[in-house]
Amino acid sequence: MRVAFFEDERATQFSPIASLRPVFELLCGHFSVRERMLRTGTIHAWGALLRDFLVESYREQHPEAHVNDRAWLSQGPTLLINARWLCSPSDLARCDVDAVGIIDGEVAWITVDPLESPVLFARSIGDGVAQLARARRRVKSPGLLAQYPWDLVHHNATQLELDYQKRTSPRSAALPPQAAIVGPIENLYIDTTAEIDPFVVIDVRKGSVYIDAGAKVQAFTRIEGPSFIGRETQLFRTNLREGCSLGPVCRVGGEVEGAILQGYVNKYHDGFLGHAFVSPWCNLGALTTNSDLKNDYTTVRVPLAGTAIETGQMKVGCFLGDHTKTAIGSLFNTGTAVGVMCQVLPGGELLPKHIPSFTRVWHGEIVDGFPIERCLETARAAMHRRGIELTEAQERLLRHVHRETALERKQAYEWQATRRDALPSVV
């Protein structure tokens, strides 16, 4: 089977967590959409249709992929999979070549004939897919299409269970002495290379727990299912509540509930992180905490790129873009969006709910961030600590995002000045 993962126009709604990656690479459950499908073993070649500015960096990361490759699409029938499709891995077998899978009026998947492939590039990918869908038999697709970042968090617990049920793994390692499991043992998998200290409690009464290769769980950690602890992730005296996905090489302490850490996130210290999505290379200083519930129990609005969006949900935390750093005692309000490469320095009160990319927060005010060269130096240093190099393609991508978010920063400064001028003077 040939498969291509495509981003449609809604990809921009996943700012800031998809500013440096395609939406189909965002973690939900155990995997991203791409990882989930490729693990089925039925795909022999794959491609990607994504936003142009991501192409160079993505090709570098995945040289085996056919990225925005018109010639490849013309070589054979290709199943197009929406980047936002959350489903069971087994649902791939239901994709009928003569039909189009529809969820709430949108295309989840469709098979494209080589002669039809030019339609995809005539205008936008989304428009091309919609045009081809009109000539297909419409069927209701299983699963759902995420619309915004909080949908990934909201549906994470369900996706965790779907992924756990479909994983074929060797025999689970046994718990060490003085560690405890509460609930049915079949809901727990521990890789044989993971290290579990004594005095760890794993509660699988509400759902499964999967602890991946090389993970380390320190004594006095409590884990509730459903949860996923990714490759080489370390838990330090952590209270990991249900509905969490921790990607590879994270360092996590404190209380975490219903949150997704994409990977390479450092949250070593105490502090609460709830119903949040944290992008790679973020560092959360000691006692960094977010609110995920309003005092009046009403639904939460999130300012994506400065525009407040109604989530329709009561529990929504924060969404942090790549390479953002928070200092000790940072306090995020309910429904906060923080961009790429921000420096958050608390001032003893709740931080702004909208912090544009490449800015700093200083004593509660959004101010200019460090020069881009200094930001890149910091990124190189952080990545080097984990044995990873910041490549030239990734640098160019970061510079592009810096340019593209200039207007968002300008508007945030102007709004802040207007709000400051409107405050009554103190005599």
pLDDT at 418 over 90: no
Separation in Å, CA 24 to CA 47, 77, 134, 146: 12, 21, 24, 11
- The answer to the question of residue 270 being in a domain is yes
| CATH number of the domain that residue 93 is part of | 3.90.550.10
Choosing from 112, 129, 147, the residue where a domain stops is: 147
- The verdict on 83 and 227 lying in the same domain is no
Are 246 and 294 in a shared domain? yes
In order of 81, 111, 112, 124, 131, the CA distances from 115 in angstroms are 18, 12, 8, 17, 14
Percent of the chain residues past pLDDT 90, beyond the cut: 91
Widest distance between CA atoms in the chain: 75
Query: Would residue 427 count as lying in a domain?
Result: no
Question: CA-based Rg of the chain, rounded to a whole angstrom?
Answer: 22
Please enumerate in sequence order all residues whose Cβ is within 8 A of that of 347, keeping only pairs 6 or more positions apart, or say none: 361, 362, 363, 364
Q: How confident is the model at residue 348 (pLDDT cuts 50, 70, 90)?
A: confident
Positions of E strands within 215-327: 216-217, 222-224, 227-229, 234-240, 244-246, 251-257, 260-261, 266-267, 272-274, 277-278, 283-284, 289-290, 301-304, 307-310, 318-320, 325-326
Answer for the pair 228, 246: CB distance below 8 angstroms, yes or no.
yes
The number of distinct structural domains making up the chain is 2
Q: Is the pLDDT of residue 425 over 70?
A: no
Same domain, 100 and 225: no
Nearest Cα to Cα of residue 240 among 214, 281, 264, 206: 206
Per-residue confidence band for 177, with pLDDT thresholds at 50, 70 and 90? confident
Neighbours of 366 (CB within 10 A): 20
Other CB atoms closer than 10 Å to residue 61's CB: what's the count?
A: 15
User: Does any domain span residue 12?
Assistant: yes
State the residue range of the domain holding 74: 2-147
For residue range 247-285, list pLDDT tens digits in order.
999 999 999 999 999 999 999 999 999 999 999 999 999
Average pLDDT along the chain: 95
- Looking at the fold, whether 174 and 52 belong to one and the same domain comes out as no
User: Is the pLDDT confidence value at 168 over 70?
Assistant: no
Q: 329 and 387 share a domain?
A: yes
Torsion sign over Cα 12, 14, 16, 17:
negative
Domain of residue 182, CATH code = 2.160.10.10
At residue 174, does pLDDT exceed 90? no
* Residues whose CB falls within 8 Å of the CB of residue 42, separated by 6 or more in sequence, listed in order: 1, 92, 93
Query: Token digits for 50?
Result: 């994504």
Task: Give tens-digit pLDDT for 349-404.
Answer: 889 999 999 999 998 899 999 999 999 999 999 999 999 999 999 999 999 999 99
> For residue 144, what are the β-bridge partners?
86
76 domain residue, yes or no: yes
Residues sharing a CB contact under 8 Å with residue 253, sequence separation 6 or more, in sequence order: 235, 236, 237, 238, 267, 268, 269, 270
Q: Which of 124, 147, 170 is the last residue of a domain?
A: 147
60 and 181 co-located in one domain: no
Residue 426's pLDDT is 44
Residue 343 domain-assigned?
yes
Domain co-membership, 275 together with 390: yes
Q: Which residues pair with 277 in a beta bridge?
A: 260, 319
Name the pLDDT band for 163 (thresholds 50, 70, 90): very high
In tens, the pLDDT along 121-133 reads 988 999 999 999 9
- Do 304 and 396 have their domain in common? yes
Confidence bin at 427 (pLDDT 50/70/90): very low
Q: Mean per-residue pLDDT for 190-214? A: 96
Mean pLDDT of 211-218: 97
pLDDT: which is higher, 17 or 175: 17
pTM attached to this predicted model: 0.96
Q: Which of 88-92, 106-110, 138-142, 341-345 has the lowest mean pLDDT?
A: 88-92
Does the pLDDT of residue 170 top 50, yes or no? Answer: yes
Are 176 and 140 in a shared domain? Answer: no
In the prediction, which pLDDT does 175 show?
A: 85
Residue 405 located in a structural domain: yes
How far, in Å, CA of 283 to CA of 267, rounded? Answer: 6
426 part of a folded domain: no
Tell me, yes or no, whether 133 and 190 share the same domain.
no
Give residues with Cβ within 8 angstroms of 207, minimum separation 6.
157, 160, 161, 164, 187, 224, 225, 226, 227, 242
Say if residue 41 is exposed, middle or buried (CB neighbours under 10 Å; 0-12, 13-18, 19+).
exposed
Alpha carbon of residue 422 to chain centroid = 37
Distance between CA atoms of 11 and 156, rounded to whole angstroms? 19
CA distances from 367 to 66, 362, 410 (A): 41, 7, 10
**Nearest-angstrom CA–CA distance, 283 and 301:** 25
- Per-residue confidence (pLDDT) for residue 383, from 0 to 100: 96
Mean pLDDT, rounded, for 290-312: 96
In this prediction, residue 375 carries a pLDDT of 96
Q: In this model, does residue 83 exceed pLDDT 90?
A: yes
Are residues 75 and 222 located together in one domain of the fold? no
Residue 140 lies in a domain: yes
Q: 336 and 363 share a domain?
A: yes
Which of residues 126, 147, 168 is at a domain's end? 147
